[in-house]
Amino acid sequence: MWRWLTNNHQTLTGIGAMLVGVAALFVAWDQGRVMRAQQHADVWPAVQVETQMSTEDGQHIFLVGMTNDGIGPALVDRIDASFAGQSLRNWEEMGTVRPDGLPRPDMWTGGSQGAILAPGETVVLAQITWPASEERWPLIRDYQQDFFALTVEACYCSVYGRCWTARRDGRTNHPEPIDACPAVDPDSNL
């Protein structure tokens, strides 16, 4: 055996070089995988859907908004919402479902399907206001129950095509990964 080893040193050198090459190939592959994961993490959006109610400056104000708390842009593909047990086609419908005796509110709405949210950006989807008065408080409290039971689901993607849904349903507001966003409902203007 010793004689074979001394006479075939070139073969041994070649086998050693192949083993070093295979190890280098594995290290390069693994490093590429780590770098891709780091690239995706560097642009991870994290959208939160929020609701707020306040009374200030003589107004009862109800807000629905969306914030990108992540570190990359969020491409908002689709928004679905239901209020008082009814699917919404537009935010204005939230002003038509109200307790008897509560007048039509002042509203400001903005659709965000197709929008790009920069990191740290907040958009107001709907703002509903009534003049504050003691007589309206019982009706406002009734409306408030429906408002805080509002369900909003926003589907958004990163610049690399990874997608999530942010769901606000009174219980959770944590983004969940999904394969792709569903197609936009052509009748929806949310």
Rounded to whole angstroms, the Cα distance separating 120 from 94 reads 27
DSSP conformational letter for 72: S
Question: Distance (Å, rounded) from C-alpha 163 to C-alpha 155?
Answer: 7
Taking the C-alpha atoms of residue 45 and residue 120, their distance in angstroms, rounded to an integer, is 10
- Over range 160-181, report the average pLDDT: 86
pLDDT digits (tens, 9 = 90+) for 8-48: 767 778 888 888 888 778 777 777 676 666 655 567 899 99
Q: What is the mean pLDDT of the chain?
A: 86
Q: Please list, residue by residue across 151-177, b when 16 or more beta carbons sit within 10 angstroms of its beta carbon and e when fewer do.
A: bbbbbbbbeeebbbbbbbeeeeeebee
pTM passes above 0.75: yes
